[in-house]
């Protein structure tokens, strides 16, 4: 295997003005990829009804999640071999092709395939943007720029439901069904990103003669796909069903095979196992996984509370989450600027996990059916702040803790573990929510049956005759269960007195979920103290440090 081609310093590659221009293109790419993780959530019901495929709607989300997660480490490794620019351009083109197809589909099966193609492109957009920053920006400025990127990631994740709801609520836009613009909106933004990167991102040509770890790629696919499937579909399949158990079994076999094959592959492995001997890389990977659980758990639970308990529309709930965006903006930019100035990064994951734990704990103890809206709004600020303090410093730590030839793998691994945590967290928390809600709503209805005021309203002929209460009375007749709670679209049009046991049951269930999240982020808080107490230094100023221990070296540009 030949050595990596020697490269020029960032200043010799791009001028400051060109660097800013490239940053805009990279940010547009990351905006698209992270936006499409959430934009479908508020529009999928409309899309599924229009395409007569309501029972298949979950696959549109699952397909994107699977392909984006599986492809992330592949892009990182291939970019270390063939260079960043061609892989990033390919990722944009694949994403645009998937978006065009998704906006033109005529069935839910087609949409699932199109979303899978989108995800294949998105994996590269998420993985390579931060890696390219490492190529073209010196360490003293890199943390600051990566802080902006993490802000874009947070903003797009929150704006997704708002934009998706707005498009889905429009019957027709420029001659197309409104929901089709959920995907068509990617085309002008993606083309702008493609043009900027093609015209201005010129890195030294690179091709490292190295075997490609096809077997490792196959094994990680075998490991991830069935585990993500059961995480997404397990509640509808049943956790002890044959399908769920088969997926879990295949996932375990895939993990074992991946570890065996990666050890055997050595340096050309998809994710070389030697990297995990580096304490910074290993701990940051684990923290990214746990923080991914917390991030997507919060993004899932807060809107769920606002819609199910407080009766907000999806668009209103999305707008309420703007406070989350404010927190992540402040946290990411503050962390980035401080790390750029001082080289100190360890304090931010410690502070961030502490804030996340506190926010989850407060949420678990304070949210009720009658809680004022400013309370979840304030909690969202601190969730965003904690994530801003964690995501960007941990990504930077993983990037600079590996040798130069592995920087693509190091950076993409951060996105990979965070995405895996997000998939597990969202699926586990939502499943836990509905499992708890069935019991708590049933208990609440039993208690309400002893209340004279509740019974008076329940037995009022005028209330019973109101069509808006028809599904509510059917719900009371059939009892609370996972199946009966699957559709709550009627909840807030029904009598407010009679729905109180249901909204209280959901509020109590969300509280329990967030206390569980607090326990997980509390574990992350304790783990973060094990990060090395070292400053990040630039190997350009200290060439001998290029392959040194965790936290002591950054990676030169390729």
pLDDT in tens, 308-326: 788 887 677 777 878 888 8
Q: Looking at the structure, do residues 192 and 247 belong to the same domain, yes or no?
A: no
Report the relative pairing of strands 172-173 and 176-177 from DSSP bridges.
Answer: antiparallel
Q: Please give the biggest Cα pair distance in the chain.
A: 84
- Residue 229 sits in which domain range? 214-269
pLDDT of residue 5: 38
pLDDT at 97: 96
Instruction: Specify whether 141 is located in the same domain as 199.
Output: yes
Q: Return the pLDDT at 558.
A: 39
Do both 101 and 249 map to the same domain? no
Report the pLDDT value the prediction gives residue 208, as an integer from 0 to 100: 60
- Section 63-87 average pLDDT: 85
Which one is predicted more confidently, 108 or 430? 108
User: 151 lies in a domain?
Assistant: yes
Global pTM reads 0.78
**Residue range 271-293: mean pLDDT, rounded:** 88
Residues in the chain: 558
Nearest in space to 28 (alpha carbons), one of 137, 152, 145: 152
pLDDT digits (tens, 9 = 90+) for 442-459: 888 888 878 888 888 888
Which stretch of DSSP H or E encloses residue 3?
A: none
Do the domain assignments include residue 417?
A: no
- In the prediction, which pLDDT does 542 show? 45
Neighbours of 58 (CB within 10 A): 16
Tell me the pLDDT of the chain averaged across its residues.
80
The CATH number of the domain where 203 resides is what? 1.20.1250.20
Is-contact 344 338, C-beta < 8 A? Answer: yes
pLDDT digits (tens, 9 = 90+) for 356-378: 999 999 988 988 888 898 999 89
CA distances for 343 relative to 131, 275, 283, 353, angstroms: 19, 22, 19, 20
The answer to which of 8-12, 21-25, 147-151, 242-246 has the lowest mean pLDDT is 8-12
Q: Which of 165, 195, 210 is the last residue of a domain?
A: 210
418 in a structural domain: no
The predicted pLDDT at position 2 comes to: 41
Let me know the angle formed at the C-alpha of 505 by 292 and 490, rounded to the nearest 5 degrees: 95
Q: What is the mean pLDDT of residues 278-304?
A: 83
The pLDDT of 58-86, averaged and rounded, is 83
Q: Determine, yes or no, domain membership for 462.
A: yes
pLDDT score, position 286: 92
pLDDT at position 329 is 83
Residues 243 and 156 in one domain: no
Judge contact between 120 and 68, C-beta under 8 A: yes
Residue 230 and residue 116 share a domain: no
94 and 169 inside one domain: yes
Q: Is 114 part of a structural domain of the chain?
A: yes
When pLDDT is cut at 50, 70 and 90, the band that residue 99 belongs to is: very high
- Which residues are registered as beta bridge partners of 176? 173
Nearest-10 crossing angle of helices 84-102, 186-200 = 160
- Domain stop point among 254, 269, 284: 269
The pLDDT of residue 527 is 94
* Residue at 389 is within a domain: no
Total number of domains constituting the chain: 3
Q: What is the pLDDT of residue 57?
A: 67
Residue 444, domain member (yes or no): yes
- Judge whether residue 246 has pLDDT over 80: yes
Contact (CB, 8 A) for 552 and 534:
yes
Strand partners, 243: none
In a domain, 310, yes or no: no
CB burial string 255-294: b at 16+ within 10 A, e below = bebbeebbeebeebbbbbebbeebebbbbbbbbbbbbbbb
Q: pLDDT class for 549, splitting at 50, 70, 90?
A: very low
Q: Are residues 265 and 194 in the same domain?
A: no
Same-domain pairing of 162 and 238: no
- Which of 228-237, 334-343, 453-462 has the weakest average pLDDT? 228-237
Query: What does the pLDDT look like over 512-544, one tens digit per residue?
Result: 889 998 999 999 999 999 998 877 665 444 444
Residue ending a domain, among 210, 233, 261, is 210
Say yes or no: 90 and 180 in one domain.
Answer: yes
206 and 228 belong to one structural domain:
no
Q: What is the pLDDT of residue 156?
A: 80
pLDDT tens digit string along 257-268?
988 988 888 777
Residue 484 in this model has a pLDDT that exceeds 80 = no
User: Does residue 173 sit in helix, strand or coil?
Assistant: strand
- Confirm if 325 and 154 have CB atoms less than 8 A apart: yes
Indicate if 66 and 200 belong to the same structural domain.
Answer: yes
133 and 264 share a domain? no
- Looking at the predicted structure, is the pLDDT value of residue 557 above 50? no
Highest mean pLDDT among 25-39, 105-119, 316-330: 105-119
Strand spans (E) along 71-186: 172-173, 176-177
């Amino acid at each position: 295997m030949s050595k990596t081609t020697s490269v020029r310093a960032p200043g010799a590659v791009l001028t400051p003005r060109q660097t800013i221009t490239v940053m805009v293109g990279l940010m547009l790419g990351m905006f698209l990829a992270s936006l499409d993780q959430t934009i479908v959530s508020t529009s999928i019901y409309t899309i599924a009804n229009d395409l007569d495929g309501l029972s298949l709607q979950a696959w549109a989300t699952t397909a994107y999640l699977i392909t984006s997660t599986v492809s992330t480490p592949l892009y990182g490794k291939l970019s270390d071999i063939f260079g960043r620019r061609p892989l990033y351009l390919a990722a944009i083109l694949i994403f645009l092709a998937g978006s065009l197809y998704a906006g033109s589909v005529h069935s839910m099966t087609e949409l699932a395939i199109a979303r899978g193609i989108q995800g294949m492109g998105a994996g590269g957009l998420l993985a390579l943007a931060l890696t390219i920053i490492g190529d073209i920006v010196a360490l003293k400025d890199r943390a600051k720029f990566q802080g902006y990127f993490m802000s874009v990631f947070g903003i797009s994740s929150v704006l997704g439901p708002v934009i998706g709801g707005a498009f889905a609520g429009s019957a027709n836009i420029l001659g197309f069904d409104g929901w089709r613009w959920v995907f068509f909106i990617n085309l002008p933004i993606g083309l702008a990103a493609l043009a900027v990167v093609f015209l201005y991102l010129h890195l030294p040509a690179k091709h490292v003669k190295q075997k490609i770890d096809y077997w490792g790629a196959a094994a990680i696919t075998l490991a991830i796909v069935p585990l993500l499937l059961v995480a997404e579909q397990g509640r509808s399949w049943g956790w002890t069903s044959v399908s769920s158990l088969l997926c879990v079994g295949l996932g375990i076999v895939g993990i074992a095979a991946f570890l065996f094959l990666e050890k055997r592959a050595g340096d050309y492995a998809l994710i070389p196992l030697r990297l995990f001997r580096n304490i910074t890389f290993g701990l940051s990977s684990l923290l990214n996984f746990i923080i991914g659980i917390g991030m997507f758990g919060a993004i899932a639970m807060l809107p769920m509370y606002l819609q199910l308990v407080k009766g907000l529309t999806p668009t209103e709930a999305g707008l309420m989450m703007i406070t989350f965006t404010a927190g992540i903006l402040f946290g990411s930019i503050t962390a980035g600027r401080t790390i750029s100035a001082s080289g100190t990064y360890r304090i931010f994951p410690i502070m961030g996990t502490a804030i996340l734990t506190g926010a989850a704990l407060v949420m678990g103890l304070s949210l009720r059916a009658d809680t004022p809206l400013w309370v979840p709004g304030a909690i969202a600020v601190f969730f965003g702040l904690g994530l801003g303090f964690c995501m960007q410093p941990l990504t930077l730590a993983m990037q600079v803790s590996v040798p130069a030839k592995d920087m693509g793998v190091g950076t993409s691994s951060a996105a990979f573990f965070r995405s895996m945590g997000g998939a597990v967290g969202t699926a586990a928390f939502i499943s836990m929510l509905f499992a708890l809600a069935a019991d708590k709503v049933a208990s609440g209805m039993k208690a309400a049956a002893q209340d004279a005021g509740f019974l008076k309203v329940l037995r009022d002929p005028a209330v019973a005759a109101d069509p808006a209460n028809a599904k509510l009375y059917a719900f009371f007749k059939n009892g609370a269960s996972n199946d009966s709670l699957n559709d709550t679209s009627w909840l807030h049009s029904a009598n407010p007195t009679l729905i109180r046991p249901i909204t209280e049951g959901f509020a109590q269930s969300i509280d329990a979920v967030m206390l569980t999240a607090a326990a997980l982020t509390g574990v992350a808080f304790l783990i973060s103290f094990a990060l090395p107490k070292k400053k990040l230094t630039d190997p350009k100023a200290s060439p001998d440090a290029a392959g040194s221990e965790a936290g002591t070296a950054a990676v030169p540009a390729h």
